[in-house]
Every structure is written in structure tokens, then in C-alpha cells.
Chain A
């Protein structure tokens, strides 16, 4: 007798659960999709949707770069290449080359931590795809630039002092 009861219970449960399941999936049909249609139909510009502290592709403000080379030395994968030369007459210490190989960068953020002036920093840019490998090396200095001199009144914080003064070319 219990086998017969189980038989009809199975039929009843199958019917009811399928009915329940179908009402659940139907209710999902009427809910608002949460898809963000990146890149062209986002509700606001994509750069505004990126959270604070996001480590995007490295960018350099050359006008406040002291050419101390702290970032170049601290980089664990040798992504940054800086050249400081004596240029002109009388010879002046000038920043002549600042290149970052984005393809090798691992976005650890050590360079931006060690920078005394915040000249090298992580931008929010993340769309770095390129069809040519060479395009992934970014240069920030076209003409030789005079390195930035921090104002004397500003008291340098501990830990930044050695990096700021050892900016001699090798």
C-alpha cells in the first residue's frame, strides 16, 4: 500500500514543484536586469564608476617629478626607465627620458608609494589594449625637463629624505 501512496505522492510533488519552479523563473523574467552594458551604454561615464584607490595604468606628472629615480629602483620588475643627463650650456641636470612598459607592469603600487611628490601614480585608466606591443611602452618626456625642486619650507617626512637626495645620474 505504501508503494502506491509513494507513487501518487511522487506525481503530486512533481506537479507542485514544477509549478513552483516555473513561477520563480517567471518572476525573474519581470525583474530589472543588472547588466552594465560596457563600454558604450553605461549609466554614467565608465571612469566615474571606478572605485577610489583603483590601481590603473601608471601615469606621471612630469612637472612635479624630482627625477629622484626612487620609483625606478623600487620597481620589482624593472618596468620604469628614467634617464637624467646634463644638458645644455652651462650643463644643467635635466630629465630626458621617462618610459614605463605597461605590458610588464604588475600594478603592485610600490613606485607610487615611494614617490616623494606623488608624480608617479596609478590613474583610473584600464583600457590599455593595443594591437602593437610597442604601443604598450609609454613615454612621458618629449623635451628635456628641469626636475621639480620641492620648496624648502616643506619639511620632508621620514623615509622620503634619502630617496629625494640620491637623484644623481649614474
Chain B
């Protein structure tokens, strides 16, 4: 960001009289605001429509397609509807905590965007403890959910809050171990450092660095699903048992805050997976733009495009998983975490450490990354072949037109 601010000072002469620290701070605030209002809120809105459309097609339906072209403004309509609703506080609720809880969830989520790099220069702050910071602030969300559940004075909300606490605290461990493995491989906690220690090509990414890293990628993906309360781990808001879980008493804009945070979290999950295991903004091209001469130093955009493509692919994968899998039971959830993910994550972390020592000794071990990359390609092709077979078996008409 400093590099970017310096270039701004060079271009715009009236900034040169100002103290540099003020310009840096203002640029950071401005970038934060752009990310918040221009990207995250748009993303959280639009992904709700995208998810509904994908879910609909997976269930032989069409989905919302009336507001705007093909329903592209449905999220605005939903937002306006929620703005006009009454903001109720239930009798017997702990009023201050009840009103405060949505903001805690919201803040915890948006703080993670501070350290998410969107491109080589596009990061609000390249903290040297970046990934640790992200893990830390995303725990705010748990506090918010527990507060919301407790302050609502509602049994279902309380159960949802307790479940979310148990779930997120448990799944922090495999997540932390997976992040630790990546830190082992990259030697830094900074998100930018992790990205730049991976290469441009898929076999240079950490997901295919060694067999253990591939397994730890899957573990990381599963445990971020659980931390983000997504299906199949959406126990805190299990509709069939808890009505709506921790947010059952919230209405109007306060409900939207929870909803918003949940969908913004979708992007954080996808972005984290892309950063840690799939090379972030590394790209083989070097397209840059100076935004019609606004900036003297051209901004690198191809990296941002690659990063967004990767992150959004994982978002689609998460949505796809949601409409495939049923919800786990509470005891199954705990068994998955403590009997499977945590021990395997430990094994993989140690395995990676030994692998790195071994690769240092025998350089031939480095070539294992190519078979792992080919295995990934095989998985994608196997999924495609299987899907084609499923379509043929049923014999229904195929329709690839996404607009109905």
C-alpha cells in the first residue's frame, strides 16, 4: 500500500504539502472503504442470487429471474425489503448485548479483509503476522454468535449459539494445523509472503508441493466450511431443528447483518484457500492498467483476475457442496473433527516437515509435485466423466443455457 501511496503523492501535487503519514492513513482508509462498500457488500449481495440460481438448477428449477435482467437485482430488492422491516427486540432479551451482537459478527468478518491480498500491490496492510491475524479476528464471529444466541432469550437461539461455539472452537485446531503446515513450507506468516513463495504454475502451488500438503489442503477446506457454518456443518442454524439458530429472533437490518457476514465469509473461505494452497495472485501474465492515467505506476491487474478466479471457483465449489450434502449430526461433527481431521492434520504436518528435510537432501523428491498435479487433473476429469455418465443414465434433456 505504501508503494501505491507514494505513487499517488508523485502524481497529485497538492498531496506533496501534506505529511506522508496522513496520506498513507487516508489511502489505507480509502482502500478499506472501497473494499468494504465496493466489493464485499456487492459480493455478499450478488452471491446470494448466484447461490439461489445454482441451487435452483440443481433441483430442476430456474430460481429468481424477475428482478432486473435474469434476477440480477434480486439482492437489492431483498435488501430494501429488509430495510423497511421492523427492528424487534424480544421481551426478556438482554437489550444491549442483543443489539450489539450483529455488529460483532460483522466487524470480525470485515477485519479479515485487512490482510487479504487481492493483487501484488492491492492489500490494505501486509501484516507480517497476516494469516495469524486472520485466524484471530475471525474468532470474533464466534463471540458474536454466542452473544446473539444468549441475548435473544430464546431456547433455539441459545442452542444455536452453543453449537457454534463448540463447532468453531473444535475446528480451529485442524485449521490452525493446516495453516501451520503452509507456514512451514513458506517460512512466513505474511499472506503476501506465502503467495510469493508459491510459483506461477499449478505444480508450484502448495496444494501439490507434496502428498501431505494435498491432504492438508482438503482438511483445511473441510474445516473452513465448518468454521463458516456452511453445509454440511451448518448446525448453528439447522433449520429443521433450531428454526434458524442463533438469529431466530433477529429481524430487519440486524438479520441482514448476520446474513451479510455469512455470505462475505464465503469469499473469505475461498480467498484463504486460494492464498494458502493455490498461489493467490501469481499469474503468468503481466497486464497492467493505470486507470486512464489516474495513477503514474500502472496497477497490475492480471494477478487480481487470477486471484478472483481462484477464489470464486472455491466459492462455487462451496455452494455446490451445500446443495449436495446433508447436514451432520452433532456427535458426527465432533467425531469428524477429533477422530479424523485433527490426527490426520498432525500426521500431515509432521510428514511435511520430514518431507522438506528429505527434499533438501534428495532433490529428486521435488519432482513428486508433477504426479500430484496430474492427480488433481485426473480428479477433475473423473468428475466430468462421472457427471456425463449420470446424465446419460437418466436420459433427461441437457440444457446448458444459464438464462431461462
Contacts and interface: CB of A to CB of B under 8 A. Distances in A.
Contacts of A27: 387-388, 390-391, 394
A19 B394 CA distance: 18
Given A21-B324, A22-B324, A31-B391, A37 B62 contact: yes
B399 A22 contact: no
Closest 10 CB pairs of A and B: A27-B390, A32-B399, A23-B386, A25-B324, A32-B397, A31-B396, A27-B387, A35-B62, A26-B387, A27-B391
A28 B57 contact: yes
B324 A33 contact: no
A33 B60 contact: yes
A19 B387 CA distance: 10
B6 to A, nearest CB: 47
B320 A33 contact: no
Interface in B344-388: 382-383, 386-388
A119 to B, nearest CB: 41
Given A18-B325, A21-B325, A33-B404, A28 B383 contact: no
B54 interface: yes
A7 B341 CA distance: 12
B398 interface: yes
Interface in A20-45: 20-35, 37
Contacts of A24: 324, 390
Contacts of B166: none
Contact of B404 (A18, A23, A26, A35): A35
B60 A34 contact: yes
Interface of B: 54, 56-62, 320-321, 323-325, 339-340, 382-383, 386-388, 390-391, 394, 396-400, 404
Nearest to A27: B390
B321 A28 contact: no
B313 to A, nearest CB: 14
Contacts of A25: 58, 320, 323-324
B60 A23 contact: no
Contacts of B60: 28, 31, 33-35
Contacts of A29: 54, 57-58
A44 B340 CA distance: 55
16 contacts: A20-B386, A21-B324, A23-B383, A25-B320, A26-B383, A27-B388, A27-B391, A28-B57, A28-B58, A30-B387, A30-B399, A30-B400, A31-B398, A33-B57, A33-B61, A37-B62
A8 B324 CA distance: 23
A145 B283 CA distance: 85
A21 B386 CA distance: 10
A20 to B, nearest CB: 7
A26 B59 CA distance: 10
Contact of B383 (A11, A22, A33, A37): A22
B399 to A, nearest CB: 4
Give the interface residue-count category, chain A.
20 to 34
Given A11-B340, A37-B404, 14 more contacts: A10-B340, A18-B324, A19-B383, A22-B320, A23-B390, A24-B324, A25-B320, A27-B388, A29-B54, A30-B400, A31-B60, A33-B57, A33-B404, A35-B61
By secondary structure, the A interface counts as helix
B213 to A, nearest CB: 17
Contacts of A35: 60-62, 404
B378 to A, nearest CB: 12
A68 to B, nearest CB: 49
Nearest to A28: B58
Nearest to A11: B340
B257 to A, nearest CB: 30
A94 B62 CA distance: 55
Nearest to B232: A18
Contacts of B386: 19-20, 23
B403 to A, nearest CB: 11
A117 to B, nearest CB: 45
Nearest to B339: A7
B390 A22 contact: no
Nearest to B321: A22
B398 A32 contact: yes
B322 to A, nearest CB: 10
A30 B391 contact: yes
Contacts of B321: 22
B350 to A, nearest CB: 18
Nearest to A23: B386
A140 B387 CA distance: 59
Contacts of A7: 339
A32 B396 contact: yes
Nearest to A10: B340
A23 B387 contact: yes
B54 A31 contact: no
A25 B317 CA distance: 12
Interface in A33-87: 33-35, 37
A147 B238 CA distance: 66
A161 B349 CA distance: 94
Nearest to B344: A11
Q: Which of A19, A20, A35 has the most CB of B within 10 A?
A: A35
